Amino acid sequence: MDSPTISAAHEAGFARHVPLVAATRDGLVESIHYGSAIAVGADGAILASAGEPLAPFYPRSSLKPLQAVAMVRAGLVLPADLLALAAASHSGAAQHRDGAVRTLTLHGRSVADLANSTDLPYGVAEREDWLRHGGSAGQVTQNCSGKHAAMVATCVINDWPVQGYLNPTHPLQQLVAATVAELTGEQPAALSTDGCGTPLFALTLRGMARAFGLIAQAAAADDGSAEAAVGLAMQQHPDMVAGVSRDVTALMRLLPGSVAKDGFEGVQLVGLPDGRAVAVKISDGGDRARMPATVALLEALGVNTEPLAAIATAPVLGGGHPVGRLQATDFLTRAEPTGPAPSKPVNEAP
């Protein structure tokens, strides 16, 4: 059977993204990354936006802090570094690999209980070091192993079956689904499976931003909630959330009180301690465009982004020398939020 044509896909509904980030070479625009973006207040009101931030998308690994909140609500108690690892897309350094094993060992389990996919370490330096010492693709080296170890631990704590813990009907995944709906204020527009095997929900940028604002605000209040526990763990151990030379780790170190998480296919979320938050989706999945657009959103909120200058842009090189720059466009002056209305909040009466 022939695959759908681009025109057919367009008729099915492409999001109306706008230019967010451009690369220039000697004054000429060489590449443009389109996408959608949003900044929301603590009350969920839209403060700034571009493109189609109310269109459903897959948040990918930016869901991990929400999944971690669900696990803490289910009784998961871990040292802060291991809880941060539960919300991580880690680089695969020794501290990450050892951390996943520690989580399993603390609960009488082993790597054999993991159900995530296999992969080499995500970080370039970590991958090269792993291969240089004879390593191969495995479940512990896969960037989601901390989350999966925590999922196994949560099953043990609740006497839930460990086998089949990724099935959407499993009690753990049912709790995760309910928690995601509560924190985002949305019911998923579609369901799928993430690269590591966990259930994946299609949500909006506004819903995801709302969730990150709640987590960061709870952490700032240190109110004893599961949201606070996850947010504080990520802030205290940003190296466990990502790793050396990763921009998400750098952002949380440079912007105290923030809770940040990236996701594959060009996704970035940042929650601020006052409950405001920003969310970005790069339409072509280009990873390099995430942070320039995100920093532009933070600046629009009045956040001092001078400490973020090193991750807000990148040089375009010619012969090893800068001849241009990757930087955000003035996208927030171009577009108002468009697209379908968000799903009805789960607590709203019919």
pLDDT in tens, 132-152: 999 999 999 999 999 999 999
Please state the domain extents for the chain: 18-87+165-334
| Interval 198-221 mean pLDDT | 98
Looking at residue 300, what is its pLDDT? 93
Mean pLDDT, rounded, for 245-257: 97
pTM score: 0.91
Assign 13 a pLDDT band (cuts: 50, 70, 90).
low
154, 168 in Cβ contact below 8 A? Answer: no
Render pLDDT for 174-203 as a digit per residue (tens, 0 to 9): 999 999 999 999 999 999 999 999 999 999
Give the whole-angstrom CA distance, residue 293 versus residue 328.
5
**Higher pLDDT residue, 184 or 1?**
184
Residue 342 has pLDDT above 50, yes or no: no
Q: Confidence band (pLDDT; 50, 70, 90) for 6?
A: very low
State the pLDDT at residue 332.
85
Greater pLDDT, 124 or 345 = 124
Phi-psi map region of 310: left, alpha, beta (phi>0 left; psi -120 to 50 alpha): alpha
Q: Which residue type is seen at 182?
A: E
As a whole number, the mean pLDDT across the chain is 92
Q: At what angle do helices 205-221 and 64-73 cross, to 10 degrees?
A: 50
The answer to whether 70 and 114 have CB atoms below 8 angstroms apart is: no
| CATH architecture observed for domain 18-87+165-334 | 3-Layer(aba) Sandwich (3.40)
Q: What are phi and psi of 84, to 5 degrees?
A: -60, -40
Instruction: Supply the pLDDT for residue 287.
Output: 94
**Region 3-30: what's the mean pLDDT?**
75
Residue 121 to residue 140: CA distance in whole angstroms: 9
Query: Is the pLDDT assigned to residue 100 strictly greater than 90?
Result: yes
For 304-338, the pLDDT digits (tens) are: 999 999 999 999 999 999 999 999 999 984 334 44
Average pLDDT over residues 288-303: 96
